[in-house]
Amino acid sequence: MRWVVGHHSLVSLNSSVVIVIMHPSVDNPRIQALARALKGPLPGERAQRMMWPEELSSSRFLPPPPDARLAAVLVLLYECDGRVCFPLQVRRRVEGDPHGGEISLPGGHREGEETVEATALREAREELGISPERVHLLGRLSRIWISVSHAKVRPVVAWAEEPPRYRLDPREVDRVIVCSLEELEDPSRRIRFPREWNGTVHHIPAWRLQDGLLWGATAMILSELLTLLHEAEEHPPSPGRGN
C-alpha cells in the first residue's frame, strides 16, 4: 500500500480511506516548544557534529553524490510515565544489511515519488506496525548523508496522541527500544567508545542505553532534535505573541 501525505491529510491510494492529520493541540510544553522551533531555522551540522568524532568530520559532512538515494526516518514522540518517549529499533542481522544489529529509528528508502513524510510513515508502519492514525506531523530535521547505505536521509518528527501498539516485522526488526528525551539528557549516559576505521582507532560519541549503544547517524539526528528543543526552551516566545 502506498501513502501520500498532503498538507493536512494522509491518503491511501489503494482505498477510499482518508486519514486526516491536523496540527496537534497538545498540552505538553516540550512538544509545543519543539513544534514552534521546527518552523524556523534548524541547527543542522552544528548539532550533528556533537555526536561524531571531529577527526572524521571531513568525510562525514561532504555533500552527498548526485545519485544518492532518498530516504526518511521517523522520530515519533509521545508521552509515557511523565516523559517524552519515542521508539527505536534493533535491526535484524541479515546478509547485505550494513546496519544489521544496530539501534536506529524506523525508516527506509523512498518509493516512487512519495514525500519524505509518506516514506517515514510507511516505513514505520511496515517495520513496527505503527498506524498513522492520530499521528500529527510536526516538521522535518536537517538532511544527513549516510555513505554506507548511499542515502541522504531526512528525519520527520511527529507526535502521537497515545503510545503506539507495536507489531514488528520479524524479517527486519529484532526488537523495539522505548527511549525518552530525558534519558538522552542524562549526562551519565554520554560516553565515547573505541572503534577502528582503516587501521586507526577512533573514540565515537554515543549514548549508553539499557539495550546497547546509540551512535552514528541516529545519534546525530537526535542530537539535532535535542539542540533544537533546548534552544527553544531557553528562548520561549514573548508573552502575547503567537506561536
Measured distance CA(233)–CA(138) in Å, rounded: 16
pTM of the entire predicted model = 0.87
Between CA 204 and CA 52 the distance in angstroms is 6
What is the span of the domain harbouring residue 164?
A: 25-234
pLDDT tens, residue by residue, 14-48? 333 333 344 546 789 999 999 999 999 999 999 99
Asked if the structure places residue 19 within a domain, the reply is: no
Establish if 243 belongs to a structural domain. no
Q: Are 108 and 147 in contact (CB under 8 A)?
A: no
Domain count, the chain: 1
Q: Is residue 242 part of a domain?
A: no
In a domain, 81, yes or no: yes
b/e per residue 5-21 (b: at least 16 CB within 10 A):
beeeebbeeeeeeeeeb
- DSSP labels, 84-139: EEEEEEEE---TT-TTTT-EE-SEEE--TT--HHHHHHHHHHHHH----TTEEEEE
In a domain, 67, yes or no: yes
Q: Does some domain include residue 137?
A: yes
Q: What is the CATH number of the domain that holds 153?
A: 3.90.79.10
Q: pLDDT of 199-214, one tens digit each?
A: 889 999 999 998 899 9
H helices within the chain, ranges in order? 29-37, 45-48, 57-60, 116-128, 181-184, 216-234
